[in-house]
């Protein structure tokens, strides 16, 4: 079978740390990068007799995430997920199991395809172990260090359905999910600081097959680029294995960025390995309808809605590059202000995605009305595109009045004088048509305007040209 006869199936589990001030069940600071083992207390160290107290803000953030992902927000329970690792001081992780706070939602990719969200539940993070030695992994390490600052940091785990079909799909999904998480204010979305961690479940099946193949779960991808690479590598490995008559065994595999390969980490635990049981020290979370509604009402527009609004203003597709860029760079409020001030949306988006995007640090000081004026001058050909870019550049650098900037460059004066000259020239060169137009025959206007357009090399503002023509009629 050739590669194209196989279909890749990918489902992602994304862990996102919540941006709360304190941990999920204690008052320790939730802060990345502090001196190891300084943000700890009896609760997050799992000392006997300590009891968890649920962080209300973490619950609110989880509700924000569930709402943004179109999930049902429901009463939920905590369970203990038991396992022994040195980075889990309690020997169990408090998580949600069969009754998560958010269930059954979806995320729309920029091109409109929907990816199902099975659940988005609350759990606590583990500590962080560092294996010291050449391999950087536990096997072959000289010794290991554990930092419990991260133990008990609130997480939401977003479990996606197996709806993705390529490494690119996976990257686009995580990128969109990250933008949504950041928009909700619940997460800072920083993959490089581990606030966003992605496990990829990958399987392959003959294209058209109804059943899913056996999956492997890949861990340790630290960037979107490595996520895409790891998935493509893993799918190829599985296809080769199956074509050679082998079988894929369900396991957790480790991505090695250096070698560009995945390797066996451990065979996959099943749920029963974790001996889940209800957390006896916590009551169910039962958010009131009013609270859920208030949280939903306070959410800002999500990136997809913002792209739709920009697309509508610019008459472009929501996944068109300039639309995506304008929203990604938070330039859409500038766009809408400029459109409200009379600028053409299509041209404004183009200028934002190019000139403004390339001096982004200045965008905050760009006056939307001045920006709108430059766009308008360009739309009515008072400025050529090159002239408009120059004026915009000056505007970004030092502010000011676009007309004055254009004048200082000698742009605007030239344009309007040139238009008046062109009108006079066309009148002189077409005396017969002019006489008919001057005598009231409006249908000749199109002919004269056509001549003006040609004489100005297409740069004339045709509205202004017709006003000039009519003005000379008297
Ligand atoms: P676990 O709790 O063992 O990680 P789940 O059943 O909750 O397992 O599934 C976890 C993830 O695996 C989900 O994101 C899901 O989309 C994905 N997944 C499940 N089956 C497959 C498969 N056959 N191929 C690819 N991904 C899959
Ligand atoms: Mg899992
Ligand atoms: Zn603590």
Q: Domain span at residue 317? A: 303-409
**449-472 tens-digit pLDDT:** 999 888 876 667 777 888 889 998
209 alpha carbon – ligand 2 mean position (Å): 24
Same domain, 76 and 216: yes
Q: Is 203 in the pocket of ligand 1 (CB under 6 A)?
A: yes
- Its pTM stands at 0.85
User: What is the 271 CA–ligand 2 centroid distance (Å)?
Assistant: 9
Please check whether residues 54 and 80 belong to one and the same domain: yes
Q: Pick from 297, 312, 332: which residue ends a domain?
A: 297
78 in the same domain as 17: yes
Same-domain check for residues 220 and 364: no
Does 405 share its domain with 421?
no
Distance 52 CA to ligand 1 centre (A): 30
- In what side-by-side order are the strands of the sheet with 72-73? 72-73, 102-108, 114-124, 154-160, 6-17, 196-206, 216-221, 251-256, 261-267
Q: Residues 11, 91: one domain?
A: yes
* Structural domain ending residue among the three candidates 297, 317, 345: 297
Residues 405 and 427 in one domain: no
Q: Sorting pLDDT into bands at 50, 70 and 90, what band is 312?
A: very high
Q: What is the CATH number of the domain that holds 452?
A: 1.10.10
Q: Please say which residue of 356, 381, 409 terminates a domain.
A: 409
Centre of ligand 2 from the C-alpha of residue 292, in Å: 27
pLDDT digits 0-9 by tens, 436-445? 999 999 999 9
- Which atom of ligand 1 approaches the CA of 162 most closely? 16
Angle at which helices 303-314 and 167-184 cross, to 10°: 100
Ligand 1 in reach of 215 Cβ (< 6 A): yes
Same-domain pairing of 9 and 115 = yes
Measured in Å, residue 10 CA sits from the centre of ligand 2 at: 13
Task: Please work out whether the CB of residue 363 comes within 6 Å of at least one atom of ligand 1.
Answer: no
- Phi and psi angles of residue 341, each rounded to the nearest 5 degrees, phi first: -85, 5
User: In total, how many domains does the chain have?
Assistant: 3
Q: Is the pLDDT of residue 157 over 90?
A: yes
CB atoms within 10 A of CB 185: 15
Q: Is the C-beta atom of 11 inside 6 A of ligand 1?
A: yes
User: Which ligand 1 atom is the nearest neighbour of the CA of 163?
Assistant: 16
Q: Dump pLDDT digits (tens) for 112-150.
A: 999 999 999 999 999 999 888 877 777 788 899 999 999
Q: State if residue 161 touches ligand 1 by the CB under 6 angstroms criterion.
A: yes
Share of the chain above pLDDT 70, in %: 97
């Amino acid at each position: 079978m050739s590669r194209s006869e196989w279909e890749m199936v990918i489902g992602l589990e994304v862990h996102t740390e919540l941006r709360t001030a304190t941990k999920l069940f204690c008052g320790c600071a939730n802060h990345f990068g502090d001196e190891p083992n300084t943000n700890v207390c009896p609760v997050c160290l799992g000392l006997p007799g300590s009891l968890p107290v649920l962080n209300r803000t973490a619950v609110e953030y989880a509700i924000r995430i569930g709402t943004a992902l179109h999930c049902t927000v429901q009463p939920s329970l905590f369970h203990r997920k038991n396992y022994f690792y040195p980075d889990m001081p309690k020997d169990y992780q408090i998580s949600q199991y069969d009754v998560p706070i958010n269930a059954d939602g979806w995320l729309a990719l920029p091109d409109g395809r929907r990816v199902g969200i099975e659940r988005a539940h609350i759990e606590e993070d583990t500590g962080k172990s560092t294996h010291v030695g050449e391999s950087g992994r536990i096997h072959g390490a000289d010794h290991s260090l554990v930092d419990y600052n991260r133990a008990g940091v609130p997480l939401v785990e977003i479990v996606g359905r197996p709806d993705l079909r390529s490494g690119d799909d996976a990257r686009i999904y995580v990128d969109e999910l990250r933008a949504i998480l950041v928009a909700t204010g619940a997460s800072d979305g920083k993959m490089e600081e581990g606030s966003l961690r992605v496990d990829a479940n990958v399987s392959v099946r003959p294209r058209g097959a109804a059943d899913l193949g056996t999956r492997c779960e890949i861990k340790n991808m630290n960037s979107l680029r490595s996520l895409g690479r790891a998935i493509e590598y893993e799918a190829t490995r599985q296809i080769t294995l199956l074509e050679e008559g082998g079988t894929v065994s369900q396991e957790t595999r480790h991505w090695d960025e250096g070698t560009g390969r995945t390797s066996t980490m451990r065979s996959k635990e099943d749920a029963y390995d974790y001996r889940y049981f209800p957390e006896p020290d916590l009551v169910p979370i039962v958010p009131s309808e009013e609270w859920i509604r208030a949280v939903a009402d306070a959410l800002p527009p999500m990136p997809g809605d913002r792209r739709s609004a920009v697309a509508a203003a610019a008459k472009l597709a929501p996944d068109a590059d300039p639309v995506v860029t304008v929203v990604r760079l938070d330039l859409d409020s500038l766009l809408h202000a400029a459109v409200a001030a009379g600028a053409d949306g299509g041209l404004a988006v183009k200028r934002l995605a190019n000139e403004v995007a390339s001096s982004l640090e200045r965008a905050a000081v760009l006056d939307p009305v001045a920006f709108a004026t430059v766009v308008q001058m360009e739309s009515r050909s008072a400025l050529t595109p090159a002239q408009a870019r120059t004026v915009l550049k000056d505007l970004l650098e030092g502010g000011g009045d676009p007309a004055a900037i254009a004048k200082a460059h000698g742009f605007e004066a030239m344009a309007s004088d040139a238009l008046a000259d062109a009108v006079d020239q066309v009148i002189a060169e077409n005396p017969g048509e002019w006489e008919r137009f001057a005598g009231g025959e409006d249908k000749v206007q199109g002919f004269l305007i056509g001549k003006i357009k040609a004489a100005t090399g297409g740069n004339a503002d045709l509205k202004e040209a017709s006003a000039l023509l009519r003005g000379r009629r008297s």
